[in-house]
A and B are shown apart, each in its own frame.
Chain A
Amino acid sequence: MSEERSGAVILVESLARQGVEFVFGYPGGAVLPIYDALFNDARIRHILVRHEAGAAHAAEGYARSTGKPGVVLVTSGPGATNAVTGIADAFMDSIPLVVITGQVPTGLIGSDAFQEADTIGITRHCTKHNYLVKDPAELAGIIDEAFRIATTGRPGPVVIDIPKDVQIASAQWNGAPPQKESRYNPQTRGSDKDIARAIELLANARAPIFYTGGGVINSGPHAADLLRQLQELTGAPVTSTLMGLGAFPADHADWLGMLGMHGTYESNMAMNQADLVVCIGARFDDRVTGRLDAFSPHSTKIHIDIDRSSINKTVTVDLPIIGDCGEVLEQLIAAWGNRKPQNLSDWKARIDGWRTRKSLAYPRDPQAIMPQLAIERLFELTKHLDPVISTEVGQHQMWAAQHFHFFGPNKWLTSGGLGTMGYGLPAAIGAQLGNPDSLVIDIAGDASIQMNIQELGTATQYRLPVKVFILNNEWMGMVRQWQELTYESRYSESYSDSLPDFVRLAEAYGWKGIRIEDESQLDAGIQAMIDHPGPVIVDCLVAKEANCFPMIPSGAAHTDMILYGDSVAGTMDDEAKALV
């Protein structure tokens, strides 16, 4: 039965039909009709954030930890522009979001009206797709397509900009799914010929390596299982990008750790010496490859990716396979049959040799807690709880990637592509809502945590037992480290001056605050954090000038890693400085 409904009601009904549980948002003038339609809606729970950037990151954390799309609702103008960082973040890291922005009434668009911004123009290149809705009759179809675009193919954010008059005006609506042929049908299966060739290469390789990324996580938990199966069949060692951590269990004998700029010695050396690199759902990012002309110079390269534009973007590959990681892995496993891999014992022996460098080892400091040690203890004391970990961006993020270990997908939430400080706390809030029974910890730095510190209030309001573990070294540590290594220790503006008292700040927001000042308090402090049923900030004071190693300096090859104990020159040439 078809009835007249307002745009706002059609929107809310369409969201409910998509199974949306949570909307992360912040009200304002241009979305009042939608907020009125949401009022007391029993199906959709609105989570009121404290800043729209928090809404977008919380939706990302929810999406990344549950595999479901995150939904954001913000007003026009500043509401939309504040959300842009989170939208851009989701675009870079392929996180499915549907972002609904209010817009000034159709007749005022272009008139510099109060709280008007060209949201469609601003988000054009940081969304997978965006819409300006001009007629409420189009809404149901657009929302249906938006969810499809956000969640299939390479996932990403979709913005739907809805002028206020379109929210109020009515259209016929019958509640049935829109009957429209879809124009978005990404290719998900590899061709049989390519699969056969890939199997041929895998079966004949003497020094193969799997280089996996966030695509395996995006493909769903079954893709991680299939990766494990294919690894078992072929015996090839596995390394992963920052975004892919958790797809392969970190306690496996063939796990090499993360690769790239702060990756392990064994993973980077193995990439350099491999004769076959099988890239699954990763994109040869500059943080992974180091100097391009020295990247894995002797290998044949297979690249499995659902996005054709990722193929040959920075590294030319020999065999591209366009498809969904999970589906292609399934095809590969089926095609492998009863084959036997080559004897890889020489290759494994070389890898074991590289492992003996113990590249993640660090010197202990009798006066201070080493940040790496703090992460190690946090891991040891929480691993039996299978926690969800989010991070901010900087040294603490890399130490968490190196020293916290993951055994399954969707447990590790971090801003990889855009590198957004302030991501971790709202992401943890979103993850906690999606995983109410899990221990969710934001591993943070003293600088990053302040970028979205206002979201402490959100966790308080919804009684979310989120934990924030701050490695406090009183520096923007990664900036300081680069200045030490490349600008002769001229620490230009990287000192975290005037830090708040994080314990009292926690208490002011109704959180528990714990300070850890000495190694002897470390385990007890972490345990107290775990045991407290509500939200906790741990202010863990760590060694102030510890560096994050191993490190491949920008512009260097995988074989030019800096390890602890190496002497490091204080400057770099302009070519290297010009790289990000």
Chain B
Amino acid sequence: MMKIKQEQSERHVLTITVDNEAGILAKIAGLFTARGYNIDSLTVADISENHSISRITIVTHGPPAVIDQIHAQLDRLVPVHKVVDLTEMGAHVEREMALVKVAGTGDARVEALRLADVFRAKVVDTTTSSFVFELTGTPDKIDRFVSLMRELGLVEVGRTGVVGMMRGAEAA
């Protein structure tokens, strides 16, 4: 019997500068589904003074040839101005923000607060039996914090997805 084959894949962070027009997000997200590419995270926000340009950051994974195709297919869309593969370009910064709600009392509550301090998470809401932490960092760091909180009464997690930028003085 025939089996479906799996291919080796790598993680890439892409930033896409686009015209801020109706349907652009659907166009880009839809391109990924239509061609069978993966989206691990996607963030989008207006970045220009006159609200005409948005920047989208997509974290994706796939074999190198597929990553190259994703880049080319995105470039082909008329409202897309620029696509930068941060992973390909080299030294870059990746940051993600998370809100993490933890409920508990006694030792668990104290431990949660102590760990939050270690991770430089900020308390943005509290009750006598809960905290909401705000945490910024690489996706890995957030993963680790969330997994620690799981033992201490994790209630809810919200994450923004990654935004990224090249290091150095130049625009990518």
Contact = CB atoms under 8 A, between A and B. Distances in A.
Interface of A: 120-121, 124-125, 128-130, 132, 149, 183-184, 307-309, 311-313, 316, 573-575, 578
Interface string B2-43: 100000000000000001001100110011001000000000
B78 A149 contact: yes
Contacts of B31: 125
A309 B27 contact: no
Contacts of A128: 78
B161 to A, nearest CB: 22
A183 B27 contact: no
Given A121-B26, A125-B31, A308 B81 contact: no
A542 B117 CA distance: 84
A309 B75 contact: yes
A308 B83 CA distance: 13
Contacts of B22: 132
Given A121-B26, A125-B30, A312-B68, 14 more contacts: A124-B30, A129-B77, A183-B78, A184-B78, A307-B76, A308-B76, A309-B73, A309-B76, A311-B72, A313-B69, A316-B65, A573-B2, A574-B2, A578-B2
Interface residues of B, number: 21
B81 to A, nearest CB: 7
Contact of A575 (B2, B23, B27, B79): B2
B1 interface: yes
Contacts of A132: 22-23
B69 A309 contact: yes
Nearest to B65: A312
Contacts of A308: 72, 75-76
12 contacts: A124-B27, A128-B78, A129-B77, A130-B23, A132-B23, A183-B78, A184-B78, A308-B75, A308-B76, A309-B72, A312-B68, A574-B2
A518 to B, nearest CB: 47
Interface in B66-95: 68-69, 72-73, 75-79, 81
Contacts of B68: 312
Contacts of A575: 2
Nearest to B21: A131
A132 B26 CA distance: 14
Nearest to B78: A129
A183 B78 CA distance: 8
B interface: dominant SS: helix
A313 B34 CA distance: 15
Nearest to B70: A309
Nearest to A149: B78
Contacts of B65: 312, 316
A313 B72 CA distance: 10
Nearest to A184: B78
A574 to B, nearest CB: 4
A316 B26 CA distance: 30
B81 A183 contact: yes
A573 B1 CA distance: 9
Contacts of A149: 78
B79 to A, nearest CB: 8
Contacts of B79: 129, 183
Nearest to B27: A124
A253 B19 CA distance: 51
Nearest to A153: B76
A184 B75 CA distance: 11
A-B pairs, top 8 by smallest CB distance, nearest first, are: A309-B72, A574-B2, A129-B78, A125-B34, A308-B72, A309-B73, A309-B76, A184-B78
Contact of B1 (A184, A309, A574): A574
Contacts of A316: 65
A546 B65 CA distance: 41
B167 to A, nearest CB: 27
Contacts of A121: 23, 26
B12 to A, nearest CB: 16
Contacts of B26: 121, 124
Contacts of B34: 125
Nearest to B73: A309
B2 to A, nearest CB: 4
A184 B80 CA distance: 10
Contacts of B27: 124
